[in-house]
Amino acid sequence: MSVEQRVIGAPQKIGGRSGASAAPAPAAAAPEPEPRKRRRWPVLVVALVALVAAGAAAAWFFLRTPDAEAAPPEPEPGAVMLVDPVSLNLADGHYLRLGLGLQLTAEIHEDPDPARALDLAIALFSGRHVDEVSDPATRDELKAQLAEQLHEAYEGEVLDVYLTEYVTQ
């Protein structure tokens, strides 16, 4: 960018001299303005905030679970089906007499076959030591395992299992 400067002489005074000696001094060249340094940090801060906001919005949109799909409704408990007690062989010549009650869902209108429940109970409890099955903490663990196995075996028709008879000898 070039700047043109004109020097206009001062008006002559009356009786003043005119001539070459009154030539104005050459004007000093005006310094060129320095290019403005642009500060980039405000732009970077705005870009970073926008990126974080976009990431949060995407996470909320893709990772949220709709309320309808969040959790299926819990099945309603129905009747309790009693299974005849059975004697199981434990280790070292001991026995366990075990009776079961199966908590069915309300949607079940006829009792399922109890043979699967007895088979799972026999497989889980047989061959254990009498001290092991007599311990309340172990008994609760075994009952929880049996309830999970029954829930899978009966495809959700059995909600829980109750030990109606539990005698060791």
Give per-residue pLDDT as tens, 29-53. 667 776 666 677 777 888 888 989 9
Query: φ and ψ at 105, to 5 degrees?
Result: -80, 160
pLDDT, tens only, 54-113: 989 888 888 876 665 666 788 899 999 999 999 999 999 999 999 999 999 998 888 899
Residue owning tokens 């010549």: 93
What is the value of pTM for the model shown? Answer: 0.58
| 4-35 burial: b if 16+ Cβ within 10 Å, else e | eeeeeeeeeeeeeeeeeeeeeeeeeeeeeeee
Sign of the dihedral through C-alpha 57, 60, 61, 63: positive
- Looking at the structure, give the CATH architecture of the domain made up of residues 77-168: 2-Layer Sandwich (3.30)
Q: List, edge to edge, every strand of the sheet that includes 77-89.
A: 77-89, 95-105, 158-168
